Amino acid sequence: MIHRLFGAAVLAACALPAAAQDASPLPSTVTQDVLTVEPRVIEWRRDFHRNPELSNREFRTAGIVAEHLRSLGMEVTTGVAHTGVIGILRGGRPGPVIALRADMDALPVAERNDLPFRSIAKGEYRGETVDVMHACGHDTHVAMLMGVAEILAGRKEDLAGTIKFIFQPAEEGAPPGERGGAELMVEEGVLRDPDVEAVFGLHIDAQLEVGRINYRPEGIMASVQDFRILVHGRQAHGSTPWDGIDPIVTAAQIINNLQTVVSRSSRLTRAAAVVTVGKIEGGVRSNIIPEQVEMVGTIRTFDDGMREIVHRRIREIAEHTAASNGARVTVEIPMSASYPVTYNDPALTARMLPSLQRAAGEDNVRLVEAETGAEDFSFFANEVPGLYWFVGGMPRGMRTEDAPSHHTPDFVVDEAGMRTGMQSLLNVALDYLGGARR
């Protein structure tokens, strides 16, 4: 099966000696630093992968991160936005303050592969016991940033400036009834004292070949809001539907009609938009028409005006469709999460593009179209200039269509991609701070 072949490729790539893999264009001493720390980074990543934790519950992960940063002599703050960890590395010379960010949380997904470090962890999500898996690669992000922190701490006296290492919880969204993630970290002052001048982050991409980097100035990822539609009907016996108001039939019609929000109400020549219903729940048995049906879904847009149109049309369609059947609806937008567009500052992107090209080789760095995925890194980049990019995590030679996607049970990344991730973060940090590349 594809996921088993993929897992074997990951292990094989990790087993290759350093000399067998592509040489980095970084200066030789920095390259050697990456190669030296890489085995530990892989070890950390596998430990996090084996022991994933859901949003706002990253207690073990945060403890390991905090201990590591303290061992490097950093000023460490824990418990930020529940479980976040901040490490401050002050260079030996004055200069700007930058931030490097990694997200820590996993997802309620059951892992389905043969990796020896696969997760068998359980957690609680919406009141239910669920399987937990790092199905989006945040384990690699944490491990990479820990490795970068170790390398930069070793060059502390040469740094002209200060680096904040932000290990963020709940990127995937806080549990119902809670707050968290980048938005709460910003509110709690993570970008202040000392004040951050620029913020950088990356994401591993399991469908982008190892050694490659994708970037885009301005909007690189969509804004997102989740929504809930409750369809209120009237319960009846399944044999006499005329005695009730069927919320299941009404919900089916609403879902069909919602397809016109994008196809008929959105100016797709301007920007993309997505409306997806991801869950529908109602009823308890075959011969009872239930009283209520719940639908939840996600909205993705790149334009403020289009977002307003999409929200309005969802409400109108749900309300009018329900009314035509004698039912009524309650519409919540957002239900819980709302992230703005992930925006890369154009001037910062242009300034740091040579750094990314040096990390992966100019031919391996590509300008790409925006993605309809979303990221709460956007809250950091709304406060200060930010740059966010994608790093390849798919084995060389594999076809994109054969690589399992993110947020799925078969998701796997090639750990060789973490080397490019560390190199890109190091290049960006050192170049922004003006060198320290001896």
Could you list the active site residues?
A: 339, 415
Q: Are 230 and 292 in contact (CB under 8 A)?
A: yes
Neighbour tally for 219: CB within 10 Å: 18
Give DSSP secondary structure letters for 202-232: EEEEEEEETT-EEE-SEEEE-EEEEEEEEEE
Q: Are 415 and 391 in contact (CB under 8 A)?
A: no
Q: Are 388 and 220 in contact (CB under 8 A)?
A: yes
Q: Are 129 and 231 in contact (CB under 8 A)?
A: no
Length of the chain: 438
Helix 346-360, helix 417-432: angle, nearest 10:
130
DSSP character for 427?
Answer: H
* AA letter at 102: A
Q: Are 326 and 243 in contact (CB under 8 A)?
A: no
What's the sign of the alpha-carbon dihedral 196, 179, 296, 264?
Answer: negative
Q: Which positions ≥6 away from 87 have C-beta within 8 Å?
A: 66, 69, 72, 74, 75, 76, 149, 164, 165, 167
Q: Which positions ≥6 away from 377 have C-beta within 8 Å?
A: 101, 171, 182, 199, 201, 342, 386, 388
Q: For tokens 């591993």, name the residue.
A: 204
Question: Which burial class, exposed, middle or buried, applies to 26 when counting CB atoms under 10 A from its CB (0-12, 13-18, 19+)?
Answer: buried
Give the side-chain half-sphere CA count within 13 A for 366: 12
Biggest distance spanned by C-alpha atoms of the chain: 81
CA distance 401 to 430: 36
* AA letter at 279: K
Among candidate residues 432, 376, 438, the one with its CA nearest the CA of residue 95: 432
